[in-house]
Structure 1
Amino acid sequence: MNAMPGKHLVLLPDAPNFTIAAVTDAYIDAFGIQRESLIGANLVEVFLGDRRDDELASQISQSLTQVVQTKRPHVMANQRHQWPDQQTGKLTWRTWRPASKPVLDSCGEVIYIIHTIEDSASAEELLKVAKANQYQQTLLDLMKEPLQVLQPIFENGEIIDFQFKLTNQAYASYANTTPEQLQGKKVGDVFPGYFDTVSFTKPVETYKTGQSLTFEIHYDKDGLDLYNLMSTFKVDDEVVIYFTDFTRLRQLQLQLESKIDELNRSNENLQQFAYVASHDLQEPLRKIQSFADLLKDQYSDQLEDGASFLERIQASAARMSILIRDLLALARISTYQETTEPVGLKNVIDSVLADLEIRIQETGTVVEIKEPLPTLSGDAVQLGQLFLNLISNAIKFHRAGQSPFVRINANQISASQLPASINHIRPASTYHCISISDNGIGFDEKHTERIFQVFQRLHGRNEFAGTGVGLAICQKVALNHGGAITATSQPGQGATFSVYLPN
C-alpha cells in the first residue's frame, strides 16, 4: 500500500477516530511529514487538531461517516486549507478534493476506507496555463493521473461523439499510443466501447448543464480493465476530464476478497472435518467402553488381575471422549461467524453457577459476585463457555485442605488503562474488564502465554483432571468478541484471569 501511486490514506472505519492504518509515499511527499507520526493516529486530530478549521474537520468526519453508513464512495467539494510550505515553512493556501471509497469484505461490511486527496486545481488551472504556454504538452505529461480535453461532435443538434483536443501521456497509455497521435481523433474510433458507459454519457451531461461531476467507473471495454474516479468540468466549449486511477488498488482488493473466500471455504471444510472426525471417533470409543463393561460384569471372576487393565482401558477411553468433545468445541469457536446481541453478564454467570451447582456443593466453594454486572455485546453461548471454563478452573485448582473461594468482579476502563501486554483488540473508547479471582494453587507467571495454548498443562493428570483445551477456548472466545484475556498469579497465592471486551 505504501508504494501505491497517488496520495492515499487507508483508514479504519472506527468512527469517530478513523484511525490511519497505511499511508502512500506520494501522500507523505506531498505533505513533508513522517509516516511514523501518522500510523495509528486519528485522521482529524493529526491534521486539523489545531482547530484552525473546525468546519473542515466536521465535513471530513461527516463524509467518512457517510461512507461507513452507506457503504458507497463519497467525494467532497473542493476544500481550501492552509498548510506549511515544504521549503519556506510558511502557511500557504492549497485547494484539495477529498474522496473516500469503502473496501468491503465478503459479507458486505466496511473493513477499510481508502481516503484520497488530489489537487483540484490541477485539472482546470493547469489546462489554462498549458493553453497559454508553448510547453503545454510537457506540463500536461507531468501529471501522473490521466487527463483529456474533449471537443463535442454534433449531429442534428445532439452530441454523437467527442474529439481529442488535448491528452497527457498517462491517458494516452490506455491506448498504447502518444498524446500527439490521439489529437484530433474521435474518442469512439479509439475506444468504441465507451458509448455504452458513463464515460460518454457523463461528459455529455456536463457539457449540456455546465455541472461538474465526479463518479466512479469500471471500464471493462476495448480490452481494458480499469477502475477510475472520473471528474468532468466544462471549460468554454470543451469538456475536461480528470481521472484518479485506482486500478491497482481495486485489483489488490479483489485479491483480498478472493483470499477471504478461500479462508471461509477452508473454515467450513475444517468445521465439517471436525464434526465428522469427532462423530466417527466417538462411536468406536463407545464400543470400547461398552465391551469393557460387559467383560468386567460377566468375566470379572476369571479376569483376576486383568480387571485392573479393563479399568485403565475404560479410563483412557473416557479421557479420549472428553478430549474429542473439547477439540470439537474449539473447532466450532475457531470458525465462529460474528453475531452480536445484548447479553446480560449476570444471566450468563447465573447459568454457569447452576451448571456447576453439584461441584460447588461438593467442594464447599464460596462464590462472591460484585454487582451490578454489565450487559455485553456478543454471543451468549460462547460467552457462557468462556466463563464456565474460568470458574470451573478456579474451583478445580484449589489448595488441599482449603475450600475454594471465587470472586467475580466487573468494571469499565478506558483504552489507556489496558495492560501493555494486550494486542489485537478491537479499538474502542472504553472496555469491560471482567475478573475471575481465586485462592487456589496459582502458577508461575512465566507460563502465562503457555497456559492459553492447546494441550498445554502445568500439572499431571493424576493431580488435576482435564484436557488442556479449556483456556484455549477462553482465548478464542475473547478474540471472537474483539477482546483479549490475561492472567496474573503467584505459586500458592491464587490466580486472577481478566477478560477485556470492547464496550
Structure 2
Amino acid sequence: MSISMKAEIKNIEQLEAENAELRAKLRDATAIVDSIRDGSVDALVVKDSDGNPKVFAIESADYTYRILIEKFTEGALSITEKGLILYANSYFGSLMEKPGGIPGMHIRDFLATPGDWETIQENIRSGILRMEILLKAESRTIPVEMSFTDLHPTVPAIGVVVIDLTEKKMREESLLDYQGQLTSKIHELHTTNTDLEQVIHVISHDLKEPLRKILTYTNQLQEYSQTVFSETDQKWISIVNKSAVRLNSLLDDVVKYAFTGQRVKDQVVNLNVVIDEVLEDLEISIGESNFKVTAPELPKLLASDVQLRQLFANLFSNAIKYRREEDPAITISSSRTFLDEIPYICVTLSDNGIGMRTEDLRQIFTVFKRLHNRDEYSGNGIGLAICKKIMDNHGGRIEVSSEVGVGTKFNLYFPADLIV
C-alpha cells in the first residue's frame, strides 16, 4: 500500500472520530437546550480560560414561577452539591445587603461560623433538612432557619429556603425577660402571702382571744343588768355586746375569705350529698321560715369538698335571709352549656325572694359590699365574695340575674372536665 493511500485512510479515520465527537457535543447541546426550554435549568456553570467556574443565569420560559419566587418574603436559593449558588431571589439579596452578584458565589461566603457548610452537608446526608444558623450580611449577623430540599434526580441541585428569625429571637428574648420578671413577682407574691398568713394567724388567734373575754363578760353583765344597772347602763352594755358579736362575726368571715384562696386537694364530690348536708346544717332556719328546696339529680365533680360546702351554704343562707314572706322556695337545676366555645356544666339556683336592682348586681361580689342596712338584714358583705373566689379556684364562673319582687338566679359554671 502506497504512502499516499495510508495517509488518506488516516484522514478518513480522523474525520470519523471528529464527526463522532461533534455528534456527542451536539447531543449534549441538544439536551441543554431541551432543559432550558422545559425550565429545569436555572443556570449554566462554564469554566473560563483560567479554569474558574462562571455562572450564567437563565431566564426560563416559566416566567410566572420565577416571578412567584422573586415575590417571596423569604430567601430562596438553588445551590450545587458543592455549595455553589446558582440562583438567589431578590429577598435573599436584600437580606444579605447585596442586591446583585450572588449567583456564582459559594454559600460558605454567607455563613457566619467557620465549618457550618460542612455541618450542613453532614445534616443533609443524615436527613436533617432544617436547621437554625447564623448568616453574615454586609453590616450585621442574622439568625435564620434554612430548609434544604434535594432536587435530584429531576434537577442536579439543592433548593434552599431562608427564613429571617431576627424578630422571633427578639420576641424570645423579651419572653425570657418577662419570665424573669414573672418569677420575681411570684417570689414577691409568695413573700406577701406568707406575711398575710401571719396576719390571719394574728386575727384568728391573738385578736379573737380578748374579744372572747369581752363577749363572755358582757353576756354575764347582761344577765345581772336588770337588777344592778340602770336602763342607760343596760343600753350601753347591750351596745358593747352587739358590737362585739358583729366584730367576732366579721373576723370569722375575714379568715374564711383569706383561706378560700387556698386550693385544697381535689376529690370526687357528690353535689347532692353536699347540698343535703348543707340543708341539714340549716335545718332550723329552713324550718322557721318554711323554706322549700327542690333539687334534681346533680353531677359528681372533681373539686374541693370543703369549698363547695361553703359555696352552697352561703347561697342558701342568702336565699333564706332575703326570702319573701309567703311560700319561700329555691329550685336547683343543672345543664350542659358553652361559654366562649368552652364546655361547662351549669348549676342554677333560682329563688323567689325579694330580688335585687339591676344596678346593684355588678357590685354584690365585692368584699364588704352590703345592699341593706344591718338593722334590716345581718351580715358583713363577704359571703358572695367568697362564692366568687371559690368558683375562680375551680376555673369556673358565677353569674347572677335578679328582679325586685320576683327573685334571684345564680348560675354556677363549672368546667366540663371536672365532671366525673
TM-score (norm. length: structure 1): 0.55
Rounded Cα–Cα distance in structure 2 between residues aligned with 1:283 and 1:126: 86
Structure-to-structure mapping, 1:38-117, within 5 angstroms:
none
Question: What residue in structure 1 maps to residue 317 of structure 2?
Answer: 392
| Identical aligned residues as a percent | 25
Rounded Cα–Cα distance in structure 1 between residues aligned with 2:374 and 2:242: 13
Question: What residue in structure 1 maps to residue 247 of structure 2?
Answer: 317
Question: What residue in structure 2 maps to residue 445 of structure 1?
Answer: 358
1:373 aligns with 2:304: no
- The total of aligned residue pairs comes to 347
Deviations 1:224-246 (CA, angstroms, capped at 9, x unpaired): 67464x42112344322213445
Aligned-residue offset at 1:389: 2.2
Aligned-residue offset at 1:182: 8.9
Amino acid paired to 2:300: T
Question: What residue in structure 2 maps to residue 410 of structure 1?
Answer: 334
Aligned-residue offset at 1:285: 2.0
Q: Secondary structure at the match of 1:465?
A: coil
Find 1:470's aligned residue among 368, 374, 383. 383
1:352 aligns with 2:278: yes
Q: Residues 149 and 463 from structure 1, CA distance in 2 versus in 1: closer, same or farther, beyond 3 angstroms?
A: same
Rounded Cα–Cα distance in structure 1 between residues aligned with 2:373 and 2:341: 39
- Structure with the largest fraction of helix: 2
Moved more, 339-348 or 441-450: 339-348
Q: Residues 233 and 285 from structure 1, CA distance in 2 versus in 1: closer, same or farther, beyond 3 angstroms?
A: same
Structure-to-structure mapping, 1:78-227, within 5 angstroms:
128=42, 131-133=57-59, 142-153=71-82, 162-168=83-89, 170-171=91-92, 180=101, 184-185=105-106, 187=108, 190-192=111-113, 195=116, 201=119, 203-206=121-124, 208=125, 215=130, 217=132, 226=143
Amino acid paired to 1:410: S
Aligned-residue offset at 1:249: 4.5
Question: What residue in structure 1 maps to residue 19 of structure 2?
Answer: none
Moved more, 163-172 or 440-449: 163-172
Q: Secondary structure at the match of 1:192?
A: coil
Question: What residue in structure 1 maps to residue 25 of structure 2?
Answer: none
Determine if contact 1:343/1:375 at 8 Å carries over to the other structure.
Answer: yes
Aligned-residue offset at 1:286: 1.6
Determine if contact 1:438/1:496 at 8 Å carries over to the other structure.
Answer: yes
TM-score (norm. length: structure 2): 0.64
Superposed CA RMSD in Å reads 4.5
Aligned-residue offset at 1:354: 4.3
Stretches of structure 2 lacking an aligned partner (at least 5 in a row): 1-38, 44-55
Deviations 1:326-371 (CA, angstroms, capped at 9, x unpaired): 43145x16xx69x87754332432343344445444544332212x
Find 1:288's aligned residue among 206, 210, 214. 210
Amino acid paired to 1:493: V
Amino acid paired to 1:275: E
Stretches of structure 1 lacking an aligned partner (at least 5 in a row): 1-124, 154-161, 416-424
Q: Residues 456 and 138 from structure 1, CA distance in 2 versus in 1: closer, same or farther, beyond 3 angstroms?
A: same
Rounded Cα–Cα distance in structure 2 between residues aligned with 1:237 and 1:340: 63
Larger RCO, structure (CA 8 Å, separation 6 or more): 2
Amino acid paired to 2:270: G
Q: Residues 144 and 186 from structure 1, CA distance in 2 versus in 1: closer, same or farther, beyond 3 angstroms?
A: closer
1:307 aligns with 2:232: no
Aligned-residue offset at 1:178: 5.4
Aligned-residue offset at 1:490: 2.3
